[in-house]
Structure 1
Amino acid sequence: MMETLVFLQTNLLSIVLGLVTCILVWMIRGKQKSFGRFPPGPRPVPLIGNLLQIDLKEPYKSYEEFCKKYGSVCTIWLANKPVVILSGYQTLKDALVTQGEEFSGRAQYPFLMKATNGYGVLVSSGHRWRELRRFSITTLKNFGMGRRSVEERVQEEARSLVKAFDELNGGLFDPRELLCNAVSNVICSTVFGHRFEYKDPEFLLLYNAVTDAFIVLNSRIGQLYNMFPGILDRFPGKHRDMFALLQEAQAYVKKEADIRLKHLDANSIPQDFIEAFVIKMIQEKDVPNSEFHYGNLLGSVWNLFSAGTETTSSTLRQMLLMMIKHPQIQARVQKEIDEVVGQDRSPSMEDRSKMPYTDAVIHEVQRHMDLAPTSLPHKVTADTEFKSYHIPKDTMVLPLLSSVLFDPKLWKNPNNFDPENFLDEEGRFKKNDAFLAFGLGKRICLGEGLARMELFLFTCSLLQRFTFVGTKPPEEIVTNPKNCSFGRLPCVYDCYAKLRV
């Protein structure tokens, strides 16, 4: 009797699994058939799509191989969802600029949707995205910030960072934490109107919420969450702890907004980003379906922190590492700083036009580092015809930025670190349209101006005061960024910051 029961259970399980497999195959084939002229790509398998063909540590490397095989527009399947990959400068330009409106949507990455509850400029599309992006760009551009410009705030933080380095007395240290603190504090100054001391509990709450989110996003659990959010939400783990910490940080931002709401009126001159948003909330309190409410405020503030902290601080870490690796380049940058800025004042953005070599070095660090090989996922906002293919509305699209940043047709010396990629024959800075470190088209990074300012002022301030030296001879220093699921991060290293004589 028992053997019969086991036999029946085994056969029943086999029948159920067989039916499930048949249904999944039918669904995928049905989707593929219904999509008709969808871009080509590797054949998916039921339930998991092309996951077994993708290196989860370096997914963009797999995307590059798919594009080489199937063309500059190809399709992969993540679980049962199709994703269109775009590769090469002309293809990206045709999609993100020429057909920019159709490709301007933001795919609903489950991780980002959970972190923001679907609010904020980063994850939104359509009317909400246009309203919030216009407001954010205008606000950041016009500050001003009441009495103090954004540049003054970055200069203030640069002086604090130099002081923190100075207090190390030339000892061995890992620059990661101090650089992250400084960049995060620039965002704090922009959002809250003032900087924090690095050990302030409120600053640490905001800082830890952002860094933990980035760590989880770049982990395997973060990748799995984006594929199976409903399942992962039911299990404990780092992702649950991170989301809880993020809620604490958002509660602090809401408390700050509440304080301002009690004391502001619609005619106030905003002193920070929160004040500007709250004033807009007051002005539109009677506007039906206004996008200016607490949800979008909290989402937009998180966007500023998440998009602006780890990216800029990681670039600065890579900058110092490249200076250690190439002391002759470091010395040439310092010579230019001495000639243009000197030692008696803080560097300013007016200096940049007179410092072509320093500008070229900063650009080359960004290009060669390839921090974000793919931009955040887009989606098409309508059924779209593109390069003889048909892409259905709401399909996720991944622009492969690294395919442009290392294209030998577009750069003098693409595979090596070489500032000459951004200099002409006379040593003047030369722009290159293929420099897509901030993206391309309507979804280009809205914090690009702030990031460029931070990279220039922090780099000049640090090299004005210090020479950076590694623990090994330059030829033994490894500078290749560490690959992670969402991008490329500098390797961990220790160094010395020696006072310049």
Structure 2
Amino acid sequence: MGTSGFLVAVAICLLVVQFTKLLWARRRFPPGPVPFPFIGSLWRIGWRIRQDTLMKLAKSYGDVFTVWVGPYPVVVLAGFETVKEGLTDNYERLSGRPMIPFFKFLSNEKGVMFSNGKTWKEQKHFSQATLQTLTQMQKDLQRQIDKEAGHLVETFAREKGQPLDPLWPLMHSASKVISTAAFGHQMSIEEEALRNLTEHVNTVTKFRGSAGEMVYNIFPSLLQHIPGPHKKVLSSCEFIRSFIKKEVENHKKKWAPHGEPQDFTDFYLAQIHREQMDSTTTFNEDNLVQVIADLFVAGTDTLAATLSWALLLMAIHPEIQAKVQKELQSALDPSKLVGYEDRKKLHYTNAVIHEIQRFSNIVLFGLPRLCMEDLNIFGHFIPKDTLVVPDLCSVLLDPKKWETPQQFNPNHFLDKDGKYTAREEFFAFGTGCRACLGRQLAQTELFIFFTCLMKAFTFRWPEGMKGPDVQPVMGAVVHPSPFKICAVPR
């Protein structure tokens, strides 16, 4: 046997050994596609994730099943009852965040989204409480949301009913609201700098959930030395952190320890000052920078994607758009700005907004969790330190819970009297202890931006253009396919 034949024989033996190890290891986990060396379950999943990818696997293997990413097992929870059991009823056992390579680079285990233990608990509790305070009481933030809604109306109005791409104006407005929450209205950020920040945030969110991220997580050391899209993303991460550090430094020059906090950075610097003598505190400038980075990454693209879907769906369903506009006209005082409290008398509009979020399901899968203890869910054993992914799409499209899950139907959120009714199955913001940090801020922005645009325009599909493509663009945040739309002044 020649050298080449010997090497081939060795390679085959190694593959057989690796395959045998995988078959032995999979006995400990819930059922799922057979994993193969190097590719794991990708032969069954494919490199391109679709909305129904995991839902189809659930039909074959049940609502608790295992897929393998390379040599690593990932347990998937599908359907409302299963996801609720995992994330709500067993929230402590599934509270961990796995430190996979890309997550580690994004956060260095700081902030809220990608941290664990004491850091996560303290940063989450503080950040959530502070954001709620800012959203409810901070006049500057409310004023900025109203201001950005007005800017959006002006931007769309300048096109005079001609086709426009709404995505970047929406992203820029979302980014400016987060900037106000983080740094206040007297920030040193210029429009061009904020635009650059928004572009870098978009680069990061596009990479997350892609095949590129999957490859990076499997071969991080190798890819450090190879050019590719991951290099641009890593550069964007550094830009975001550097940008925020600079703004925090500018903030510190004006900050007074005993002054009245005006924004998130003020509140956080005050907390650092209070705990400066505690050697175990997690409140420091590194965590401050990362928490603000988390807010930008989590809150910019998600809002823009949801509003993009909203405008597209209104153009596709003019009868629903007309009912929203009729309700806005009859229920609101035209001389006053729309406020978040107005949702209580806008039952149909509120239902439409929630149905937009359900139908578009822009976050298909919640960020992976780490199982902190051995866990049994509906008879399936999940070992400690296993990665667990909740399929939120399977909840928002669960045929056991929604009358017409595959159709855009605001009646999902209306009772028999036409009143808005909340649904337990509405997991658009996730659920449990790792649910969306800025949920209240996002709901406020979404409601005010949407109602202001509906009051000002009727959205129509451009004449002569091919009909709307409702196929989603997959990623960590699911956008509609790129489109242009006509905002016709009312």
- Give the structure-1-normalised TM-score: 0.92
* Unmatched 5+ stretches in structure 1: 1-6
Deviation at 1:147, TM superposition (A): 5.5
Runs of 4+ in 1 over 6 A off after TM superposition: 195-199
Matched, 1:21 2:11: no
Alpha-carbon spacing, 1:206–1:447, altered in 2? closer, same or farther (3 Å)? same
Q: Is the 8 A contact 1:50 1:76 kept in 2?
A: yes
The amino acid that maps onto 1:425 is K
Matched, 1:392 2:362: no
The amino acid that maps onto 1:32 is R
The amino acid that maps onto 1:298 is V
Match of 2:114 in 1: 123
Deviation at 1:67, TM superposition (A): 1.4
CA distance in 2, matches of 1:495, 1:50: 40
1:10-409 mapped onto 2 (5 Å cutoff): 10-33=4-27, 35=28, 38-58=29-49, 61-143=52-134, 148=139, 150-194=141-185, 200-409=191-400
Match of 1:4 in 2: none
Q: Is the 8 A contact 1:173 1:494 kept in 2?
A: yes
CA distance in 2, matches of 1:329, 1:60: 25
Deviation at 1:268, TM superposition (A): 2.8
Matched, 1:415 2:406: yes
Alpha-carbon spacing, 1:420–1:298, altered in 2? closer, same or farther (3 Å)? same
Once the two structures are superposed, residues 281-332 of structure 1 have per-residue CA deviations (whole angstroms, 9 ceiling, x without a partner) of: 2222221232112322222111101111111111101101111111111111
Match of 1:498 in 2: 488
Matched, 1:427 2:426: no
The amino acid that maps onto 1:341 is L
CA distance in 1, matches of 2:411, 2:135: 35
The amino acid that maps onto 1:338 is Q
CA distance in 2, matches of 1:263, 1:351: 36
Deviation at 1:199, TM superposition (A): 7.5
Decide which moves more: 16-25 or 389-398. Answer: 16-25
Q: Is the 8 A contact 1:321 1:479 kept in 2?
A: no
Once the two structures are superposed, residues 236-258 of structure 1 have per-residue CA deviations (whole angstroms, 9 ceiling, x without a partner) of: 12221222132122112112212
Deviation at 1:458, TM superposition (A): 0.2
CA distance in 2, matches of 1:196, 1:454: 20
- Give the structure-2-normalised TM-score: 0.94
Tell me the SS of whatever aligns to 2:52.
Answer: helix
Matched, 1:484 2:474: yes
Q: Is the 8 A contact 2:165 2:483 kept in 1?
A: yes
Deviation at 1:161, TM superposition (A): 1.5
The amino acid that maps onto 1:213 is V
CA distance in 2, matches of 1:415, 1:147: 39
Match of 2:449 in 1: 458
* Unmatched 5+ stretches in structure 2: none
CA distance in 2, matches of 1:414, 1:149: 39
Alpha-carbon spacing, 1:486–1:141, altered in 2? closer, same or farther (3 Å)? closer
Q: Is the 8 A contact 1:377 1:397 kept in 2?
A: yes
Deviation at 1:232, TM superposition (A): 1.9
Match of 1:3 in 2: none
Tell me the SS of whatever aligns to 1:105.
Answer: coil
Decide which moves more: 422-431 or 258-267. Answer: 258-267
CA distance in 1, matches of 2:80, 2:138: 42
Deviation at 1:279, TM superposition (A): 2.1
CA distance in 2, matches of 1:225, 1:152: 42
CA distance in 1, matches of 2:330, 2:136: 31
Alpha-carbon spacing, 1:470–1:196, altered in 2? closer, same or farther (3 Å)? farther
Q: Is the 8 A contact 1:223 1:485 kept in 2?
A: no
Q: Is the 8 A contact 1:42 1:75 kept in 2?
A: yes
Q: Is the 8 A contact 1:192 1:274 kept in 2?
A: yes
Tell me the SS of whatever aligns to 1:75.
Answer: strand
CA distance in 1, matches of 2:102, 2:369: 15
Deviation at 1:145, TM superposition (A): 8.9
The amino acid that maps onto 1:114 is F
Alpha-carbon spacing, 1:108–1:481, altered in 2? closer, same or farther (3 Å)? farther
Tell me the SS of whatever aligns to 1:143.
Answer: helix
Deviation at 1:152, TM superposition (A): 2.6
- Residue identity over aligned pairs, in percent, reads 33
Q: Is the 8 A contact 2:144 2:180 kept in 1?
A: yes
Alpha-carbon spacing, 1:324–1:199, altered in 2? closer, same or farther (3 Å)? farther
Q: Give aligned pairs, total.
A: 490
Alpha-carbon spacing, 1:144–1:17, altered in 2? closer, same or farther (3 Å)? closer
Alpha-carbon spacing, 1:390–1:219, altered in 2? closer, same or farther (3 Å)? closer
Deviation at 1:70, TM superposition (A): 1.5
Tell me the SS of whatever aligns to 1:330.
Answer: helix
Alpha-carbon spacing, 1:323–1:197, altered in 2? closer, same or farther (3 Å)? farther
Once the two structures are superposed, residues 19-74 of structure 1 have per-residue CA deviations (whole angstroms, 9 ceiling, x without a partner) of: 432442344245335x3xx2111211122211111132225533222211111111
Deviation at 1:402, TM superposition (A): 1.6
Q: Is the 8 A contact 1:191 1:272 kept in 2?
A: yes
Superposed CA RMSD in Å reads: 2.3
Tell me the SS of whatever aligns to 2:84.
Answer: helix
Q: Is the 8 A contact 2:305 2:477 kept in 1?
A: no
